[in-house]
Amino acid sequence: MNNMKEILESVYSVVHTMNPVDFVDIGLLSYIIYFFLKLIRETRAGQLFKGIAFLLIAYMVGKMIELKSITYILEHVFNIGILAILILFQPEVRRAVEKLGHTKLGLDAILSASNDEVKAKWAIAIEAICESCVELSKTCTGALIVIEKQTKLGEQIENGTIVNAVPSKELFGNIFYPKTPLHDGAVIMRDGMILAAACFLPKPQKEELINKKLGSRHRAAIGMSENSDAIVIVVSEETGQISVAENGNLTRDFEFDTLHKFLTDKLIPKQQDNKKMRLPILRSRTEKRDSHEKNP
């Protein structure tokens, strides 16, 4: 309790003595922090910094309520923190410094679609993904579709070709057709859109432990799911089998209905409004299937 009172008194004394120059100082510092976070948000370093922030909060709480062992350990961790950050984030730090050299200074408005818009886009995208995978499976056409979630995949997007298009069965068919320039690599999707194609994915962490029968697409899918929280869909070129990789695990033998349910559960929160929104899409799919059965 005394510690809390001291903290509040310190905050009051600082605020009470602030002048306009101090506000400018705080504003510049805030912008520098924002700019740094913007540089790393497209990499795995962004996720690691969340862990560091958690440790910092834990240290402050431990100090406040006098948890001596926790604060002692964390103090020693922070003593070597700068060196550890340089070692852990060496590739990201290098890319950030390189990017800083040709980045225009200035505040860019960050415009992101609302949750309802994103849900509507994913409802359409899920339908297109499932239809495409079924069609590609019939012809044993290999495909690799990465669905980005919280972890941004800027590193993989940079080595691909930007598409930024609305997903459709026809577009997926053109991308993965064997004789097209974009077929060799993965499609990366963000917010229900096809963001990039022909992207190369990281290898699995323990490639030697993976089943020897699995091809390069399945290995790349496992590697991507190990390095991020992405969902990766694979269509086998040899068997036409549809598989999904998540959290380093590969699940096989998906069909339209099971894949549709899996993606819907993962990408669209279960709410009454969302269920109503998906009904017309599911109904149109059923009607299409019935019409094909009546007119073979």
Percentage of the chain surpassing pLDDT 90?
Answer: 32
Q: Rounded to an integer, what distance in angstroms lies between the CA atom of residue 148 and that of residue 267? A: 10
Separation in Å, CA 275 to CA 11, 118, 263 = 49, 15, 14
Look up tokens 């995208």; give the residue: 125
**Is residue 281 over pLDDT 80?**
no
Look up tokens 């200074």; give the residue: 105
**Is residue 115 over pLDDT 80?**
no
Query: Residue 110, exposed/middle/buried by CB under 10 A (0-12, 13-18, 19+)?
Result: exposed
Q: How confident is the model at residue 91 (pLDDT cuts 50, 70, 90)?
A: low
Residues 176-230 pLDDT 10s: 998 888 888 999 999 999 999 999 998 886 665 677 778 888 999 998 988 888 9
**Is residue 290 over pLDDT 70?**
no
Percentage of the chain surpassing pLDDT 70?
Answer: 69
- Domains detected in the chain: 2-101 (no CATH), 115-279 (3.40.1700.10)
**CB–CB of 163/194 below 8 Å?**
yes
The whole-number pLDDT of residue 69 equals 82
**Picking from 118-122, 148-152, 222-226, 282-286, which range would have the lowest pLDDT averaged per residue?**
282-286
Residues 239-266 pLDDT 10s: 999 999 998 889 999 999 999 999 999 9
Output the 3-class SS for the chain: CHHHHHHHHHHHHHHHCCCHHHHHHHHHHHHHHHHHHHHHCCCCHHHHHHHHHHHHHHHHHHHHCCCHHHHHHHHHHHHCHHHHHHHHCHHHHHHHHHHHHCCCCCCCCCCCCCHHHHHHHHHHHHHHHHHHHHHHHHCCCCEEEEECCCCCCHHHHHCCEEEEECCCHHHHHHHHCCCCCCCCCEEEEECCEEEEEEECCCCCCCHHHCCCCCCHHHHHHHHHHHHCCCEEEEECCCCCCEEEEECCEEECCCCHHHHHHHHHHHHCCCCHHHHHHHHHHHHHHHHHHHHHHHCC
The whole-number pLDDT of residue 294 equals 44
Q: How confident is the model at residue 66 (pLDDT cuts 50, 70, 90)?
A: confident
**Is residue 89 over pLDDT 70?**
no
The whole-number pLDDT of residue 143 equals 94
**Picking from 2-6, 139-143, 170-174, 261-265, which range would have the lowest pLDDT averaged per residue?**
2-6
Q: Rounded to an integer, what distance in angstroms lies between the CA atom of residue 269 and that of residue 77? A: 38
**Is residue 39 over pLDDT 70?**
no
Q: How many CA atoms lie within 13 A of 271 on its CB side?
A: 10
Rg (C-alpha) for the chain, rounded Å, is: 24
Closest CA to 186 of 169, 202, 170: 202
The sheet with strand 161-165 has its strands ordered as 161-165, 193-199, 186-190, 143-147, 231-235, 242-246, 249-251
- Is the pTM higher than 0.75? The answer reads no
The whole-number pLDDT of residue 86 equals 67
Q: How confident is the model at residue 284 (pLDDT cuts 50, 70, 90)?
A: very low
